[in-house]
Amino acid sequence: MSFAAYFTYIVTYLLMTAGLFIVIARGNLIKKLIGLGIFQSSVYLLYIGPAKLIGGTAPVLATGYSVYSNPLPHVLILTAIVVGVATLALGLALVVRIREAYGSIEEDEVLAEDKANTSTTGHA
């Protein structure tokens, strides 16, 4: 139960917290997406870390090898990476559209313009 045994978990939760903090604390939509990317990546580590055995090989039966890494988490995370890429791509596409529509990618400016707009149309 040493520090080394928990190393991947510590890194995972550090990255997770850092990513979530960026998402909440930054107003720039691109920076928010970067935070979201870090947040998602931390989960990859959570799955991959425990699946890797030091000295373990790919699970292919061969003479001389008896320690294998678990391939299942790797495959799961391959799927999660694809999902993560799709999410980021969609997020960035939305930011492009938001910039075209509002001329800004700062959350407070966009929301302020929405507010100003609804208060004028509301009385029309």
Partner 1 sequence: MSLSNHLPALQVVIPLVSAPIALLIRQRHLAWALMMVVSWLSLAISVLLWLQVSDGSVISYAIGAWPPPWGIEYRVDSLNAFILVLISGTAALVVPFSLHSIEHDMHQQQHYLFHTMFALCLAGLLGITITGDAFNVFVFLEISSLSTYVLIALSRRRQALVASFQYLMMGTIGATLIVVGIGLLYLLTGSLNIADMGTRLSTLPPSRAVYTALAFLSIGLSLKLALFPLHQWLPNAYADAPSAVSAFLAATATKVAIYVLLRFYFDVFGLPRLNEAGILPLLMALAIAAMFVASAIAIAQSDLKGLFAFSSVAQVGYIMLGVGISNDTGLTAALLHIFNHGITKGATFLLLGIVMYAIGSTDLSRLRGIGRLMPLTSAGLLLCGLSLIGIPGTSGFISKWYLVLAALEAGHGWLAFVIVVSSMLAVAYVWKFVEVAYLQEPDAGAHLQRKPVLTMALPTTVLCAATLYFGLDTRFSLGAASAAAKVLLSGVGGVTP
Residues lying near partner 1 in the complex (CB under 8 A) = 16, 20, 23, 29, 32, 36, 39-40, 43, 46-47, 50, 72-73, 76, 79-80, 83, 86-87, 90-91, 94-95, 97-98, 101-102, 110-111, 114, 122
Residue 112: half-sphere exposure toward Cβ, Cα within 13 Å: 8
Q: How far is the CB of 83 from partner 1 (least distance, A)?
A: 5
- Cβ atoms within 10 Å of 50's Cβ, excluding its own: 12
Q: How far is the CB of 69 from partner 1 (least distance, A)?
A: 14
Where does residue 23 fall: left (phi above 0), alpha (psi -120 to 50 degrees), or beta otherwise?
A: alpha
Q: How far is the CB of 33 from partner 1 (least distance, A)?
A: 8
Which residues are 57's β-sheet partners?
A: 68
- Cβ atoms within 10 Å of 28's Cβ, excluding its own: 15
11 versus 76: smaller Cβ distance to partner 1: 76
9 versus 65: smaller Cβ distance to partner 1: 9
